[in-house]
């Protein structure tokens, strides 16, 4: 692990990221020594620092370190974390030290390649995700919603599942954003009140726009999505994964497609050559 530019495994217990989840992160896919969607990841980190009012002035050092690690490691996932630092009085950040940054390398989950080839089965989770318009869209260090969702998935022997907010609207899966196609139009849930605005979601949205494919973002229920012609999920590491089946409390809905060229397959190809 790299901490503030130095190789170390010692994380200060006084770090506010550890104590209060006072920070945020992004996960970058490394391919052939390159950090994929690098500019979008940096933009995400900058936006989170702005919203959380974290004063971070080491962008040049951080970006150089990410580039160096990508070239050295070649493949995998690089998790980039920024915390407010150490100190403050209780929750107050007054007199807090300067921000800390961390780089951690992990392997790409093996199942992601299989999902990309064969599709994924999802369940509809009972757990509902909290609503917080101020923090919505950010990938903060407070991931207890996802921990609870994953416990439900593990108990049902499912890899991933669709999650609604406490307001009853579809938001995302435990690890990915959701898109679906109905009558040639693409839909994706809004993350303005809950959920994470993924880097790959932004990239795919930009690609759809460049291809002239209409994308509508809004508040939708599970039932509205279940009538779709095609469903796929995205994140920066798995990229684009088609959904082949959705398990609901009452029935299993098969959303496999016989068409050889579905939108998700096309987007997967475009993602590969436009990064």
Residue 174 in this model has a pLDDT that exceeds 60: yes
Tell me the average pLDDT of the chain: 90
Residue 275 in this model has a pLDDT that exceeds 70: no
- Lookup: tokens for 19: 């104590």
Would you identify the CATH topology of the domain 112-274? D-amino Acid Aminotransferase; Chain A, domain 2 (3.20.10)
**Whether 192 is catalytic:** no
Task: Identify the active-site residue in 86, 121, 172, 230.
Answer: 172
Task: Identify the active-site residue in 27, 173, 188, 234.
Answer: 27
Q: Under a CB-based contact definition with an 8 Å cutoff, are residues 204 and 91 in contact? A: no
Model pLDDT, residue 265: 66
Cβ neighbour number for residue 154 with a 10 Å cutoff? 10
Q: Mean pLDDT across the stretch 160-175?
A: 97
pLDDT digits (tens, 9 = 90+) for 62-103: 999 999 999 999 999 999 999 999 988 889 988 888 999 999
pLDDT digits (tens, 9 = 90+) for 3-61: 999 988 888 889 999 999 999 999 999 999 999 999 999 999 999 999 999 999 999 99
Largest alpha-carbon pair distance within the chain?
61
Is pTM, for the whole model, over 0.75?
A: yes
The reply to whether domains 2-108 and 112-274 share a CATH topology is no
What's the CATH architecture for 2-108? Answer: 2-Layer Sandwich (3.30)
Smallest CA-to-CA distance from 185 within 143, 227, 147 is with 227
Smallest CA-to-CA distance from 208 within 256, 149, 167, 267 is with 267
- Domain-by-domain residue ranges, the chain? 2-108, 112-274
Residue 193 in this model has a pLDDT that exceeds 60: yes
- Lookup: tokens for 133: 């318009």
Model pLDDT, residue 253: 63
pLDDT digits (tens, 9 = 90+) for 230-257: 899 999 999 999 998 898 876 666 655 4
**Whether 150 is catalytic:** no
- Lookup: tokens for 1: 């692990």
Annotate 81-138 with DSSP letters as a single string: EEE--BB-STT--TTB---EEEEEEEPPPTHHHHHHHH-EEEEEEEEEE---TTTTB-
pLDDT confidence of 219, banded at 50, 70, 90? very high
**Whether 27 is catalytic:** yes
pLDDT digits (tens, 9 = 90+) for 92-135: 988 888 999 999 999 999 999 899 888 899 999 999 999 999 99
Report how far apart the first and last C-alpha atoms of the chain are (Å, whole number).
27
Residue 226 in this model has a pLDDT that exceeds 60: yes
Task: Identify the active-site residue in 29, 139, 150, 201.
Answer: 139
Q: Under a CB-based contact definition with an 8 Å cutoff, are residues 172 and 163 in contact? A: yes
């Amino acid at each position: 692990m790299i901490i503030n530019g130095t190789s170390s495994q010692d994380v200060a217990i006084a770090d506010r990221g550890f104590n209060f989840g006072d920070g945020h992160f992004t996960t970058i896919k490394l391919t052939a020594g390159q950090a994929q969607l690098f500019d979008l990841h940096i933009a995400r980190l900058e936006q989170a620092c702005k919203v959380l009012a974290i004063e971070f002035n080491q962008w040049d050092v951080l970006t150089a370190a990410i580039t160096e690690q990508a070239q050295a490691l070649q493949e995998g996932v690089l998790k980039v974390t920024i915390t407010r630092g150490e100190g403050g009085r209780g929750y107050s950040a007054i007199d807090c030290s300067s921000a800390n940054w961390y780089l951690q390398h992990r392997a790409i989950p093996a199942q992601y390649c299989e999902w990309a080839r064969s599709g994924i089965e999802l369940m509809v989770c009972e757990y509902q995700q909290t609503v917080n318009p101020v923090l919505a869209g950010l990938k903060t260090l407070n991931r207890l919603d996802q921990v609870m969702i994953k416990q439900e998935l593990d108990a049902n022997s499912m890899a991933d599942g669709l999650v609604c907010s406490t307001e009853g609207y579809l938001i995302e899966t435990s690890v990915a954003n959701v898109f679906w196609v109905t009558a040639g139009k693409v839909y994706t849930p809004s993350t303005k009140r809950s959920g994470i605005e993924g880097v790959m979601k932004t990239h795919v949205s930009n690609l759809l726009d460049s291809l002239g494919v209409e994308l509508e973002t809004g508040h939708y229920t599970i039932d509205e999505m279940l009538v779709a012609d095609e469903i796929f999920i995205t994140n920066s590491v798995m990229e684009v994964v088609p959904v082949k089946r959705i398990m609901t409390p009452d029935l299993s809905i098969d959303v496999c497609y016989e068409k050889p060229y579905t939108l998700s397959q096309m987007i997967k190809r475009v993602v590969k050559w436009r990064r």
